Structure 1
Amino acid sequence: MKETLGAASGLVRLTFLVQNLYAEVGRACDLTAAQAQMLCSLSDRSIGMAQLSGMLCLERSSLTGLVDRAQQRGLVARENDPHDRRAVKVTLTPEGSKALHRFNDELTERLERLLQELPATERDRFAKTLSRVVADAPAAFTS
């Protein structure tokens, strides 16, 4: 007999499953989980270091190291903020965009495989429910 989960327990287990897939796909794409999260956050815009620190829940010193390493790999670039001479924004480079798309494509494929055994009507209902639950959460990908 299959175990029936409550909504909270199911979400916790789903989070664990997704985090593991996220890390596994990141490793396959030569990205740490933190690098993948940063690239996802930068997918369609430049972001200031202070805002990026808050989005990624990282101390500024940790973020500086993360950005430094990603910049050394050619994944991101720092730009002066045209509206504030003291501020710096981080943006994807073409190489970073390529790495993000590879990561996104692989992760999406792996996540879709999780649901392939569900009938189409259940997948659709699940997608609609998820859309309602995460409606106010920031988007990870633009696609």
Structure 2
Amino acid sequence: MPASPTREPVREPGVDELSATVDALVQLSFLVQGVLGRMASEHDLSLIQVRLLGILRDRRPGMLELARLLGLDKSSMTGLVSRAEKRGLVRRIPSPDDGRAVLVELTDAGRELTGRCTAEMDGEIATLTASLTGAERAQATVLAGKILSNAQVGGAS
């Protein structure tokens, strides 16, 4: 079956294409980090605190899992959770499976702040992607998911 005249043939990316991809992804990363940084600042949070709250939106991980997800060592993780605890955003609870371990969960205040931050981020991303069609947004989601999945399998973070 002949190739469609409106589509370019599939080919391995060359150096120029790879450079363009790297450049676009790095610039997109900077854009998203800038949005997160502004949002964090408006709520007197650090970026790592925003990441912590984001992780805790839908789970109650242990300290070791949190440290792994955030790429922190044990003492840094303990300090991060302690600061969030002092602000009333998280609490530590005993693990039902291991008497020596603790889980970390959002408090009501933490859940409320996380909900506000999520809504703000949703609004910012909606504005940034307003020029995309629904199909393009879906494609961007699929492609980002593939990149993230590959990074998890390959060990990149």
Percentage identity across paired residues of the two chains: 36
**Larger strand proportion, structure 1 or 2?**
1
Please list, as runs of the form range in 1=range in 2, the aligned pairs for 1:1-143 lying within 5 A after superposition. Answer: 6-135=20-149
Cα 1:74/1:136, change in 2 over 3 Å: farther
Q: Is the 8 A contact 1:29 1:102 kept in 2?
A: no
The offset of 1:64, in angstroms, is 0.8
- SS in structure 2 of the partner of residue 89 of structure 1: strand
The answer for the alignment partner of 2:9 in structure 1 is none
- SS in structure 1 of the partner of residue 100 of structure 2: strand
- SS in structure 2 of the partner of residue 90 of structure 1: strand
Give RMSD over aligned pairs.
2.1
Mean Cα displacement is larger for which, 27-36 or 114-123?
114-123
What are structure 2's unaligned runs of at least 5 residues?
1-16, 153-157
The offset of 1:77, in angstroms, is 0.4
The answer for the alignment partner of 1:141 in structure 2 is none
Q: Which structure's CA Rg is the greater one? A: 2
**TM norm structure 2:** 0.77
Cα 1:55/1:124, change in 2 over 3 Å: closer
Greater RCO, CA 8 A, separation 6+: 1
Instruction: Flag as ranges the 4+ runs of structure 1 deviating above 6 A.
Output: none
Distance 2:84 2:53 in 1: 9
Q: Which amino acid aligns with 1:86?
A: R
Distance 1:62 1:132 in 2: 30
Distance 2:105 2:37 in 1: 22
What are structure 1's unaligned runs of at least 5 residues?
139-143
